[in-house]
Structure 1
Amino acid sequence: MAVGRRDKIQSIRGSRIAIAIVIGVLLGCVFAFLFPHGFFTPNSPIQNPRIVTSNVQTGTSCESPERVNMLKSDMASLSDTNAGLKKRVRELTEKLRLAEQGQDNAQKQVMVLGDQHKVGPFGTVKALRTNPTVVPDESVNPRLAKMLEKVAVGKELIVALANSNVKSMLEVWFTSIKRLGVTNYLVVALDDQIVEYCKTNDVPVYKRDPDEGIDSVARTGGNHAVSGLKFRILREFLQLGYSVLLSDIDIVYLQNPFDHFHRDSDVESMTDGHNNMTAYGFNDVSDEPTMGWARYAHTMRIWVYNSGFFYIRPTIPSIELLDRVADRLSKQPNSWDQAVFNEELFFPSHPGYEGLHAAKRTLDFYQFMNSKVLFKTVRKDARLKKLKPVIVHVNYHPDKLPRMKAVVEFYVNGKQNALDAFPDGSEW
Structure 2
Amino acid sequence: MAGRRDGLLTRPGGSPSRGSRIAMAVAVGILLGCVCAFLYPDGLFRSFSTSPYHVQGKSEKCETAERTNTLKSELASLSQKNEELKKQVMELISKLKLAEQGKDQAQKQFLALGQQHKAGAFGTVKSLRTNPAVIPDESVNPRLAKMLEKVAVRKELIVALANSNVKDMLELWFQNIKRVGIPNYLVVALDDGIERYCNASGVPVYRRNSEEGIDRIGRDGSNHAVSGLKFHILREFLQLGYSVLLSDVDIIYLQNPFDHLYRDSDIESMSDGHSNMTAYGYDDVSDDPPMGWARYAHTMRIWVYNSGFFYIRPTIPSIELLDRVADRMARQPDSWDQAVFNEELFYPSHPGYEGLHASKRTMDIYLFMNSKVLFKTVRKDAHLRRLKPVIVHVNYHPEKFERMKAVVDFYVNGKQDALDPFPDGSRS
Note closer, same or farther for the CA distance 1:275–1:115 as it changes in structure 2 (3 Å cut): same
In 1, Cα distance between the equivalents of 2:156 and 2:410? 29
Q: Which structure 2 residue ranges, 5 or more long, are not aligned?
A: 1-49, 53-59
Match of 1:245 in 2: 245
Query: What is the deviation of 1:61?
Result: 9.7
Query: What is the deviation of 1:72?
Result: 11
Match of 1:324 in 2: 324
* Aligned residues with identical type, % of pairs: 77
Query: What is the deviation of 1:200?
Result: 1.4
CA deviation string 1:159-179 (max 9, x = no partner): 000000001101110001000
Q: CA RMSD in A?
A: 3.6
In 1, Cα distance between the equivalents of 2:122 and 2:324? 38
**Contact residue 252 and residue 393 of structure 2 kept, 8 A:** yes
Match of 2:280 in 1: 280
**Contact residue 407 and residue 419 of structure 1 kept, 8 A:** yes
In 1, Cα distance between the equivalents of 2:155 and 2:71? 63
Match of 2:201 in 1: 201
In 2, Cα distance between the equivalents of 1:199 and 1:79? 56
SS in structure 1 of the partner of residue 124 of structure 2: coil
Once the two structures are overlaid, the 10-residue window that deviates more, 139-148 or 365-374, is 139-148
Given the two structures, how large is their TM-score scaled by the length of structure 2? 0.78
Q: Does residue 1:268 correspond to 2:238, yes or no? A: no
Note closer, same or farther for the CA distance 1:155–1:183 as it changes in structure 2 (3 Å cut): same
Given the two structures, how large is their TM-score scaled by the length of structure 1? 0.78
Match of 2:56 in 1: none
Query: What is the deviation of 1:343?
Result: 0.3
Query: What is the deviation of 1:112?
Result: 4.9
Note closer, same or farther for the CA distance 1:79–1:197 as it changes in structure 2 (3 Å cut): closer
In 2, Cα distance between the equivalents of 1:336 and 1:422? 27
In 2, Cα distance between the equivalents of 1:108 and 1:236? 21
Query: What is the deviation of 1:107?
Result: 6.0
**Contact residue 131 and residue 315 of structure 1 kept, 8 A:** yes
CA deviation string 1:135-154 (max 9, x = no partner): 11111111111111111111
Query: What is the deviation of 1:113?
Result: 3.5
Query: What is the deviation of 1:68?
Result: 9.8
**Contact residue 108 and residue 132 of structure 2 kept, 8 A:** no
SS in structure 2 of the partner of residue 135 of structure 1: coil
Match of 1:188 in 2: 188
SS in structure 2 of the partner of residue 110 of structure 1: helix
Q: Which structure 1 residue ranges, 5 or more long, are not aligned?
A: 1-49, 53-59
CA deviation string 1:3-36 (max 9, x = no partner): xxxxxxxxxxxxxxxxxxxxxxxxxxxxxxxxxx
In 1, Cα distance between the equivalents of 2:115 and 2:61? 60
Query: What is the deviation of 1:109?
Result: 2.5
Tell me how many residue pairs correspond in the alignment. 375
In 2, Cα distance between the equivalents of 1:195 and 1:76? 58
Note closer, same or farther for the CA distance 1:400–1:102 as it changes in structure 2 (3 Å cut): closer
CA deviation string 1:10-68 (max 9, x = no partner): xxxxxxxxxxxxxxxxxxxxxxxxxxxxxxxxxxxxxxxx999xxxxxxx899898899
Query: What is the deviation of 1:307?
Result: 0.1
Query: What is the deviation of 1:110?
Result: 1.8
**Contact residue 110 and residue 128 of structure 1 kept, 8 A:** no
Match of 1:122 in 2: 122
Note closer, same or farther for the CA distance 1:80–1:218 as it changes in structure 2 (3 Å cut): closer
Q: Which has the larger radius of gyration?
A: 2
**Contact residue 133 and residue 315 of structure 2 kept, 8 A:** yes
In 1, Cα distance between the equivalents of 2:318 and 2:194? 28
In 2, Cα distance between the equivalents of 1:408 and 1:417? 12
Note closer, same or farther for the CA distance 1:389–1:263 as it changes in structure 2 (3 Å cut): same
SS in structure 2 of the partner of residue 158 of structure 1: strand
Query: What is the deviation of 1:114?
Result: 1.2
In 2, Cα distance between the equivalents of 1:103 and 1:261? 27
In 1, Cα distance between the equivalents of 2:340 and 2:138? 29
Match of 1:380 in 2: 380
In 2, Cα distance between the equivalents of 1:79 and 1:287? 76
**Contact residue 137 and residue 241 of structure 2 kept, 8 A:** yes
Match of 2:346 in 1: 346
**Contact residue 152 and residue 184 of structure 1 kept, 8 A:** yes
Query: What is the deviation of 1:117?
Result: 1.1
> Aligned AA for 2:201?
N
SS in structure 2 of the partner of residue 235 of structure 1: helix
